[in-house]
Amino acid sequence: MELVVRNLACARGGLPLLERVNLVLQAGQALVLRGPNGSGKTTLLRTLAGLQPPLDGTLSCPPEACAYAGHADGLKATLTAAENLQFWAAIHGQPSGSVSRALAAMNLSDLAGRPAQALSAGQKRRLGLARLMVTGRWLWLLDEPTVSLDAASVALFAGVVRAHLAQGGAALIATHIDLGLEGAEELQLAPFRAAPRAPAGFDEAFL
Amino acid sequence: MSALLLRDLRLALRAGGGFGLGLGFFLILAVLVPLGVGPNPATLALIAPGILWVGALLACLLSLDRLFALDFEDGSLDLLATAPIPLEGVVAIKALAHWLTTGLPLVLVAPLLGLLLNLPAPAYGWLVLSLLLGTPALSVIGAFGAALTVGLKRGGLLLSLLVLPLYMPTLIFGSELVSRGAQGLPVGTALALLAGITTGACALLPFAAAQALRINLR
């Protein structure tokens, strides 16, 4: 399994943001996306996840192989932590045993029966990240996964990513901090910024 | 898919899920109309089919803007769009969950409210049948409207404006079916058209709604 991105261009809000992006990600590798705010990290990840079509270029990896974790955790406030994960495990056709493993890995076992609305911001984030482990997908697309996590939780999460890589998974991580992943390559997005150009037509903003 | 249906039903029944909003509205309307129109049994019997159908339609409309907006706000719509189930299936299941929590209770409580409005005795069966056939179309058409307006702040007004014209055929044939049933006239045409609108909407609109969602998620 590998992700090969060739000559990718993607847009945000109808305006081209990135172009000529090339990257290769093998099983077992992690790639850290770097760039200032607004440089297109989220746009690139959403394009790879299949949430928006690329303007140009090719992706070797079908969206079905990717598990996307964006800024929002996708938790339902009135469901308990375990129920939230059980739902995503069922949607992805994973056995329910994966739920308790994911909760344990993110140190949430004690909070399994608590409604998501009663969790702190960091605990919600950990629950959102635990969702990745019940998707059974090999490529994790992580958009600033460490927001509102404390240092111990960041280390915990880095361990989870390391375990995922060791099992033949891969991760593409947009982050501003050092996760402490050994051997992870970095990709600066700033050189791929698209040259400004006028939109081709009025309709393009709506299509 | 059954996991999504179970989750939506569970969310609707838990605190703040909005279950009973449409039912409460329907009840209030049926109680207030006799007070506003006056207690003349003949007048009430004449307007009862129309009032009950308009009430059911507006009650359905009340909870529509939450159908996709809540999932959009907390990010689960993005995750559902990348999940292994097709987005068309997601739309169909969410419309079904909306019908089970809004449409079906209306169908069940409508005969009771028919009593308050002095609905003629032969019309009760037709009232239940017409709502049973018509309310699924209201949920599916509503899901399409909700998918079109999902990214908009306060999209409820636009949603109502988009959806109401699409609701009109269902309303016309639904209340016509009950009126004709009450007078003992043949109901075949209204029945066939009502069923046709519902089956057509259920077959086609999930695809349109899924496409609208894909565009709104970009």
DSSP string, B66-117: HHHHHHHHTTHHHHHHTSSS-HHHHHHHHHHHHIIIIIHHHHHHHHHHHHHT
Residue A28, pLDDT score = 87
Domain count for chain B, please give it.
Answer: 1
What percent of chain A stands above pLDDT 90?
21
Q: How confident is the model at residue A184 (pLDDT cuts 50, 70, 90)?
A: confident
Average pLDDT, whole number, for chain A? 87
CB A57 within 8 A of CB A11: no
What average pLDDT does this structure show over A16-25? 88
Instruction: Label residues B32-57 b or e (16+ Cβ within 10 Å = b).
Output: ebbeeeeeeeeebbbbbbbbbbbbbb
- Quick check: A75 and B17 CB within 8 A? no
Residue A205, pLDDT score = 58
What distance in Å separates residue A155's CA from the closest CA in chain B?
A: 25
- B74: contact with A, CB 8 A cutoff: yes
Alpha-carbon distance of B216 to B213, in angstroms, equals 5
Alpha-carbon distance of B145 to B63, in angstroms, equals 12
- B15: contact with A, CB 8 A cutoff: yes
Q: Which class is domain A2-198?
A: alpha beta
Residues of chain B with pLDDT under 70: 17
Q: How confident is the model at residue A194 (pLDDT cuts 50, 70, 90)?
A: confident
Residue A188, pLDDT score = 85
**CA nearest neighbour of A175 among A52, A103, A21, A71:** A71
Which residues, at least 6 apart from B50, have a Cβ–Cβ distance to it below 8 Å?
A: B175, B179
Residue B176, pLDDT score = 92
Q: How confident is the model at residue A198 (pLDDT cuts 50, 70, 90)?
A: low
pTM of the model: 0.90
What distance in Å separates residue B7's CA from the closest CA in chain A?
A: 7
Q: Report DSSP state, residue A193.
A: B
Q: What is the CA radius of gyration of chain A?
A: 18
Residue B12, pLDDT score = 85
Please report the residues numbered 85 through 144 in chain B whose beta carbons come closer than 8 angstroms to any beta carbon of chain A: 85
Q: Put the strands of the sheet holding A66-69 in their side by side order.
A: A66-69, A139-143, A170-174, A30-34, A185-188
**Coil vs helix vs strand at A92:** coil
Domain positions in chain A: 2-198
Q: Report DSSP state, residue A41.
A: H
Q: Using CA atoms of B143, B147, B148, B154 in order, give the dihedral in degrees to the nearest 10.
A: 100
What distance in Å separates residue A87's CA from the closest CA in chain B?
A: 6
**CA nearest neighbour of B14 among B142, B101, B91, B136:** B101
Residues of B in contact with A87 (CB under 8 A): 3-4, 7
Alpha-carbon distance of B162 to A165, in angstroms, equals 48
**Coil vs helix vs strand at B65:** coil
- Quick check: A50 and B10 CB within 8 A? no
What average pLDDT does this structure show over A157-180? 89
How many contacts does A have with B, using Cβ atoms within 8 A?
71
Alpha-carbon distance of B207 to B158, in angstroms, equals 21
**CA nearest neighbour of A26 among A187, A185, A191, A190:** A185
- Quick check: B218 and A67 CB within 8 A? no
Residue B13, pLDDT score = 84
* pLDDT 10s digits, A37-88: 888 889 999 999 888 888 888 888 777 888 999 888 889 888 999 999 999 9
Residues of B in contact with A52 (CB under 8 A): 217-218
Which helix (H) or strand (E) is A46 found in, with range?
Answer: helix A41-48
* pLDDT 10s digits, A113-152: 899 989 999 999 999 999 999 998 889 999 998 888 899 9
Q: Which residue of B has its CA nearest to A124?
A: B74
Host domain of residue B46? 2-217
In this predicted structure, the answer to whether residue A191 has a pLDDT above a threshold of 90 is no
Which helix (H) or strand (E) is A141 found in, with range?
Answer: strand A139-143
Total Cβ atoms within 10 A of residue B29: 18
Residues of B in contact with A50 (CB under 8 A): 81-82
Residue A112, pLDDT score = 87
